[in-house]
Structure 1
Amino acid sequence: MARANEEVEALLQEYADLVAITGGDAFKARAYEKAARAIGGHPADISHLDADGLRDIPNVGRSIAEKVIEYLRTGTVAVVEERRAKIPAGVRELITIPTLGPKKAMRLYEDLHISSVSELAAAIEADALADLKGFGEKTQENILHGIRLMQQAGGRIPIHLALDTAEEIVAELSQVTGCKRCTYAGSLRRMRETIGDIDILVAAKRSAPFMEALETLPSTAEVIAHGEKKTSIRTTKGVQVDLRVLPPDSWGAGLQYFTGSKAHNIRTRTIAVRPGLKLSEYGLFDTGSGESVASRSEEEVYARLGLPWIPPTLREDRGEIQAAVRGELPEVVTERDVRGDLHTHTDLTDGLASLEAMVEAAAERGYAYYAVTDHAPNLYMQRMTDEKILAQREELRALDGAHHGMRLLHGTELNISAEGDVDWPGAFLVGFDLCVASLHSHFDLDRRAMTRRLVRACENPHVNIIGHPTTRLIGKRPGVDADWDEVFAACARTGTALEINAQPDRLDLCDEDILRARQHGVKFAVNTDAHSVLHLAHLRYGVATAQRGWLTADDVINTWPLRRLRRFLAKDGSG
């Protein structure tokens, strides 16, 4: 169910990898990577564009546009197939391992004839890579960790892809005659960062029309199981979808039951037993008379158990039941609470849209304020200079307040060096409204050095937010090794916020780290790190992650009025 944009993005990225594996021109590989990103972030559906329309997309030239047209017309691209044929399938499997690049994958195949993930794991265990140049002990540890990440991910898919699929199916089934209610449930409704399969619930008197509708959707590739109450299909993208049709009177109980988590449901069923009740997907029943005492809404079910309604993002048996009993359940932050985005990029560095386009899109979201934070000069490939950033500041000041009164903040994303320094001197940083500081390199420092590096960045009086703090990429790259309790304490002490990066492949900090940091008194910023107009909508994933970390609006600095936010950014203790 992905847009054509996403399919082409994946294809061009694969071609870039194939070029790199076969020793092709590094510039050519980089050009295809840039085109892939640009097409993936393009707001319009590229399947409706001709060659000229494609060439209007940044980084898409004539040759790439022709290949895209070829793919959209035939489903394949000849040069991609040719490159695939030159490379053993096993090598293509190896490059899917996080931390293992294409050149190392090819060397493993050519020197040791390793052509599968299992063979590579066995070779490392047998110490067969010891004499292979570039495969020292640390590299082998990283590869094994990457293999474990793959195994943990299994068939799980990122939350944004699962949500796109679920919302399309819900929209289709909601149109079927007789539908009273329809939504997704399970781990997706709890907004976990990856999803195993998708649970869809329908409230209706007759189930057959909905089972038939699901089975005949264009995106349905296979019917796994067909039943009166449950049907399971696999989509053309390989995602399993389970549909259950409930009686309308059982909607609330069914939604609560199928949302989970399993551990949360065990708690609620245990509470039900004490006053002589039984809780199931059909309702809350008196065990003596069999009479239903609550079932139509979740609120009704929880209230009958003596509890307030508990947001789905909290239902992980991490103390939410006990907090609800004590009346201490947090009023978690929502998208409506967010007044602005404090970490975004434009095409001045590696963004895909102009300053004007990003500002206009932010204004359309109803923000009270919005920050532009392009990269600083030490991320050398972005070619930032003092002159460029100052010219952007003038352009931004001219736009300030021009879009429904939205105030614009001029910031930058600084690079934290291995020693904890940042790009520009303090005298230059004084001119920015805010500074985000992030790790972009030296991910393999030892725990002590990494901790010192992050703490030093927090202690910089000009650093307001630590961006994507652990640097993890879900299923692809582990987070850096640091004493996070020491880092969290430093953030609280210095008035430095920690980012919850809403990019769905990051969600960094994750919910468990948020819970720990919150105990230290840290404040947070839920930002999109948007590199295109489309990325601004990723805020929903960051907010959901914040909810899973039990955060309220008061914990999140970009829910605050601008005056309070500016006091916090001053780092003088008045925020």
Structure 2
Amino acid sequence: MARLNDKVRELLQEYADLISITGGDAFRARAYEKSARAVGGHPEDIDGMDVKALQQIPGVGKSTAEKIAEYLADGRIEALEKLRADIPAGVRAMMSVPGVGPKRALALYRDLGIASVDELAEAIRADRLSEVPGLGERSGEKILHGIELMRQSGGRTLLDAASALADQLVDALTAVPGCTRCAYAGSLRRMRETVGDIDVLATAEDSAPLMAALTALPYTAEVIGTGPTKTSIRTTDGIQVDLRVVPEEDWGAALVYFTGSKAHNIKLRTMAVRAGLKLSEYGLFDAESGEKIVSAGEEEVYAALGLPWIAPPLREDRGEIEAALRGELPELVAEADLRGDLHTHTDLTDGLATLEEMIDTAAARGYTYYAVTDHAPDLVMQRMTDEKMLAQRERLRELAGRHRRMRLLHGTELNIGPDGTVDWPAEFLSGFDVCVASVHSHFGADRDAQTRRLIRACENPHVHVIGHLTTRRIGRRGPIDVDLDAVFAAAARTGTAIEINSSPQRLDLRDEDVLRAKRHGVKFSIDSDAHATPHLAYPRYGIGTAQRAWLTTEDVINAWPWQRLKRFLRKDALRA
């Protein structure tokens, strides 16, 4: 289940969007956007807070606190409902299409009478968008692509929300008397970036208490079907959950089968057939006699097929079975291997927590080094100045002894301009311990231009990491058009790391692209891009991407000891 904070964040963001598209005060809309970020990034659960307590959240004023309290008490915000009534639901849906947004959605509705995503697609194909000022053929192509992106992600849940729900389900079912094992499986266990539904497996002599417990959960909205071996529900967030209860002795075979992927399972079954065996969710059997050979543990099932255990993120039929047969499976990087985070933000720019709060939370994660990388001045809305950045550096030095075992690094997230240049001259950049450079604008530039700007950023001797390279936001904004192989080659040549941005809204790079980059010899940085203290836990998701891409600690610079990372960060000195 999504945190209550996240639900309220979505409502406040929607309220801000509706204020904007209905011609409301822009300052007021921005205030609610800020409040939305503040609530979403607040580390404590807001459930049960009154107006006074809510106002203690930085960025939440009295009016916002009253609306949140109204929602906590009644499950609705009257002011939001009134604005919703003024805008058809289909127009609100258009706001979510990448490339449209609130203002364009309202213009399309008022000027062309377009009141749904389907009508918008039809209007683009009929070349009607040219009737709206500022929209033309190229805009239409981008919006059509955005509609396709939204439809591809429709009905799928981001990894963080799916993981949070699955963890709650496993905890709740494990506590049921008689349950001996419980775990989630499916694409979530394989750490896919989005999840269609959640598969949960459990073992018990009597399945009835487990099935009853699932249907009685407070976030169960609908029971799709129930029986002695399988029960399916739909949660209040619209996520389908399938619970299967199997005998203890069949646990391993069931976990292999329901983890998947389908292609991986087909390969395993083919191997079984060639060996005169039959593999199913019930076990591995002798094909001729029907005698069960093994089924209790995953390791035993794989071993009976002549294979070592294969980590779930690898089970995509990308050569993992062949590598296992050769004894060449990698020792995958794990979250515990990360020694630090090289991309984080504070309230000096668009973060929600203070420098001290971010440092303390990072130290609690056991890091040996930690970088603060607030935005640079070319991202004008963040109002960064040389003086502010130097003052932060001085404050960071004052805090150097706050956590003896954690080294503090002063960095920045630079903006890669259309021509590949970055904020600040070389002499100023040389004062940073680490520089992350990212694209934050001009997403629509053509392929050649995007490729040139990123290669030039890689060639900058002061840029250590390229952040969220493709700029995508899952289901909301597609990747920029860029020759990735050319950029990867440049990154390998210049000793520039490519980030695996762990924000579940980004997960940028995709695992397929990380695989390509690794073949070029690229090194990676698995970072949180945290804008609040809870976000510092995001590397859990970036690690999933890294594992799906076969990465080891050798590939990940922030899994290295400090002295080795320090040598890597001397890129500017080595290239000077």
- Classify the TM-score, shorter chain: over 0.9
Q: Deviations over 1:167-226 (max 9, x none)?
A: 111101001111111000000100100110000000112211111111111111111011
Residue in 2 that maps onto 1:193: 193
CA–CA separation in structure 2 for the residues paired with 1:268 and 1:53 = 56
CA–CA separation in structure 2 for the residues paired with 1:230 and 1:51 = 44
CA–CA separation in structure 2 for the residues paired with 1:116 and 1:327 = 54
The answer to whether the 8 Å contact 1:495/1:573 transfers is no
C-alpha displacement of 1:573: 9.4
Residue in 2 that maps onto 1:277: 277
1:134-145 alignment, distance < 5 Å: 134-145=134-145
1:351-362 alignment, distance < 5 Å: 351-362=351-362
CA–CA separation in structure 2 for the residues paired with 1:535 and 1:424 = 28
Residue in 1 that maps onto 2:173: 173
C-alpha displacement of 1:347: 0.7
Residue in 1 that maps onto 2:418: 418
Q: Deviations over 1:472-521 (max 9, x none)?
A: 00000001001110000000000000000000000000101000000000
1:34-73 alignment, distance < 5 Å: 34-73=34-73
The answer to whether the 8 Å contact 2:420/2:453 transfers is yes
C-alpha displacement of 1:154: 2.1
The answer to whether the 8 Å contact 1:15/1:80 transfers is yes
The answer to whether the 8 Å contact 2:129/2:137 transfers is no
Are 2:93 and 1:93 equivalent residues in the alignment?
yes
Residue in 2 that maps onto 1:445: 445
For the aligned residues, what is the CA RMSD? 1.2
CA–CA separation in structure 1 for the residues paired with 2:275 and 2:130 = 65
C-alpha displacement of 1:88: 2.1
Look up the equivalent residue of 1:192 and give its one-letter code: R
Look up the equivalent residue of 1:565 and give its one-letter code: L
Residue in 2 that maps onto 1:116: 116
Look up the equivalent residue of 2:76 and give its one-letter code: T
CA–CA separation in structure 1 for the residues paired with 2:198 and 2:429 = 47
CA–CA separation in structure 1 for the residues paired with 2:290 and 2:572 = 63
Are 2:520 and 1:524 equivalent residues in the alignment?
no
CA–CA separation in structure 1 for the residues paired with 2:156 and 2:469 = 24
Residue in 2 that maps onto 1:80: 80
Unaligned runs of 5+ in 1: none
Residue in 2 that maps onto 1:392: 392
Q: Percent of pairs identical after alignment?
A: 66
CA–CA separation in structure 2 for the residues paired with 1:182 and 1:90 = 41
CA–CA separation in structure 2 for the residues paired with 1:217 and 1:71 = 21
CA–CA separation in structure 2 for the residues paired with 1:6 and 1:270 = 44
Q: Sort the Cα spacing of 1:330 and 1:572 in 2 relative to 1 into closer, same or farther, 3 A.
A: farther
Does 178-187 or 397-406 show the bigger shift?
397-406
Does 489-498 or 214-223 show the bigger shift?
214-223
Residue in 2 that maps onto 1:242: 242
C-alpha displacement of 1:396: 0.9
Does 369-378 or 99-108 show the bigger shift?
99-108
Residue in 1 that maps onto 2:261: 261
CA–CA separation in structure 2 for the residues paired with 1:543 and 1:446 = 31
Residue in 1 that maps onto 2:149: 149
C-alpha displacement of 1:574: 7.4
Residue in 2 that maps onto 1:30: 30
Q: Which runs of 4 or more aligned residues in structure 1 lie more than 6 Å from their structure 2 counterparts after TM superposition?
A: 572-575
Q: Indicate the SS of the match to 2:571.
A: coil
Look up the equivalent residue of 1:500 and give its one-letter code: I
Q: Indicate the SS of the match to 1:245.
A: strand
CA–CA separation in structure 2 for the residues paired with 1:89 and 1:220 = 25
Residue in 1 that maps onto 2:336: 336
Query: Taking structure 2 as the reference length, what is the TM-score of the superposition?
Result: 0.98
Q: Indicate the SS of the match to 1:182.
A: strand
CA–CA separation in structure 2 for the residues paired with 1:275 and 1:72 = 60
C-alpha displacement of 1:49: 2.0
CA–CA separation in structure 1 for the residues paired with 2:97 and 2:105 = 9
The answer to whether the 8 Å contact 1:451/1:483 transfers is yes
Does 49-58 or 296-305 show the bigger shift?
49-58
Look up the equivalent residue of 1:370 and give its one-letter code: Y
Unaligned runs of 5+ in 2: none
Q: Indicate the SS of the match to 1:372.
A: strand
CA–CA separation in structure 2 for the residues paired with 1:213 and 1:189 = 22
CA–CA separation in structure 2 for the residues paired with 1:366 and 1:53 = 31
Residue in 2 that maps onto 1:102: 102
Residue in 2 that maps onto 1:478: 478
CA–CA separation in structure 2 for the residues paired with 1:489 and 1:530 = 28
CA–CA separation in structure 2 for the residues paired with 1:569 and 1:513 = 24
Does 128-137 or 141-150 show the bigger shift?
128-137
The answer to whether the 8 Å contact 2:127/2:137 transfers is no
Q: Deviations over 1:284-339 (max 9, x none)?
A: 11122222222111111111111111100000011111111111111110001100
The answer to whether the 8 Å contact 2:497/2:524 transfers is yes
Q: Sort the Cα spacing of 1:123 and 1:301 in 2 relative to 1 into closer, same or farther, 3 A.
A: same
C-alpha displacement of 1:63: 1.1
Query: Taking structure 1 as the reference length, what is the TM-score of the superposition?
Result: 0.99
The answer to whether the 8 Å contact 2:348/2:374 transfers is yes
Q: Indicate the SS of the match to 1:59.
A: coil
